[in-house]
Amino acid sequence: MTRPFGLLAELTYACPLHCPYCSNPLRLADYGDELTTAEWRRVLTEARELGVVQAHLSGGEPLQRRDLVEIARTAAELGLYTNLITSAIGLSPRRAEQLRAAGLDHVQISVQAHEAALSDRIAGTPSFERKAAAARTVKDLGWPLTVNVVLHRQNIDRIADIIALVERLGADRIELANTQYYGWALHNRAALLPSRTQVERAEQVVRAARKRLEGRAELTYILPDYYLDFPKPCMGGWGKLQLTVVPNGDALPCPAAHTLPLPRVNVREKSLAWIWAESPLFQRFRGTGWMPEPCRGCPRREIDFGGCRCQAFLLTGDAARTDPVCILSPDHEIVAEAVRVANAETRPVAEVLAPRPHPRDTR
């Protein structure tokens, strides 16, 4: 593809939750100069002209933006399929009705666990009951509902209970995604990375649930990178299928690329068309010409594109290295050691989670 089909619009990094696996930047206060309503309207218009057909409204918590209804209405009027990715804190029946009237097409709600005590502990604030109420509102208004649960060492053993909860909420799609180790998740990796036994048990539960739910709900299960022999393709390829615009207007080839020491490009200064087609940032890791060995000569280079550039940088300090998840990577021992620690009979690190702070607390 020469044009993106999806735009992830991260409207704000403000969020009422404090999830310890959050992949938002560690320095949240750097993104406080948020795009205005008019600027987001221009971004959405340029995205549609570029070929985008899906707009995912995310954050942080997008409901923290008072102009969310206006932004959603603009996207709908442009003919974009709109998806709200939310914690559901703030999705009152009145706000939901306004978003429905504005043309919002789909709602994705995150849930941290199957019951209030564990869910609220992971989220860092009482939220479980409000999430369940919001999910019922979504279904009452006739929206398709996706429920997303990030899995990790603290909740993966309750995956059967989690699936049962999501069934009761009436979800049309269930997304069970093992933690990706960026941002606060990498900071908390020792307490989040599950053991191999936990992962294998979870897979058995998922296989049985898929068979039971066939024809009623779609179930997506994303394995943890650290237990794979080969990495997942980075966003289907760097700057190939989708792009992200973050609260201050920086445009990124993937949501975690803010971590990379590459030239920034901002929608306040350049058009999305120029950013997509010509910016050094989006060109840097496109295709396969940039690849070092062993990726350059690997038959999988057009399948996984060398893996995740952000993960490579965070683990090795060099974004051009082969993703250390790959068993062929010269840096694979970094991941292997993390897995050994996660599976040790006596774990040397206390399983204490550092919560994601509010942006004002990261100055």
pLDDT for res 362: 45
Residue 33's CATH number: 3.20.20.70
pLDDT band at 347 (very low <50, low <70, confident <90, very high): low
Q: Which residue has the tokens 């989708």?
A: 242
Q: Cα 59 to the chain's mean position, in Å?
A: 10
- Give the type of residue at 129: E
Euclidean distance between CA atoms 22 and 228, whole angstroms: 22
Residues annotated within a binding site for [4Fe-4S] cluster = 15, 19, 22
User: What are 160's two structure tokens?
Assistant: 């059967």
> 328 phi and psi, to 5 degrees?
-90, -5
Q: Which residue has the tokens 């799609």?
A: 173
| Count of domains forming the chain | 1
The residue segments making up the domain with residue 120 are 1-362
% of the chain with per-residue pLDDT over 90: 87
Residues annotated within a binding site = 15, 19, 22
Under DSSP, the state recorded for 228 is -
> Does residue 124 come out as left (phi exceeding 0), alpha (psi in the -120 to 50 range) or beta?
left
Strand 251-252 to 242-245 pairing: antiparallel
The answer to whether the beta carbons of residues 121 and 108 sit under 8 Å apart is no
pLDDT band at 361 (very low <50, low <70, confident <90, very high): low
Tens-digit pLDDT profile for residues 182-240? 988 999 999 999 999 999 999 999 999 999 999 999 999 999 999 999 998 877 889 88
Q: Which residue has the tokens 């290295």?
A: 321
Euclidean distance between CA atoms 308 and 305, whole angstroms: 8
- Calculate mean pLDDT across residues 337-354: 78
Tens-digit pLDDT profile for residues 25-70? 888 888 999 999 999 999 999 999 999 999 999 999 999 999 999 9
Euclidean distance between CA atoms 167 and 155, whole angstroms: 17
The maximal CA–CA distance of the chain, rounded, in angstroms, is: 57
% of the chain with per-residue pLDDT over 70: 96
Tens-digit pLDDT profile for residues 111-141? 999 999 999 999 999 999 999 999 999 999 9
Is there a cis peptide before residue 237, judged by omega within 30 degrees of 0?
no
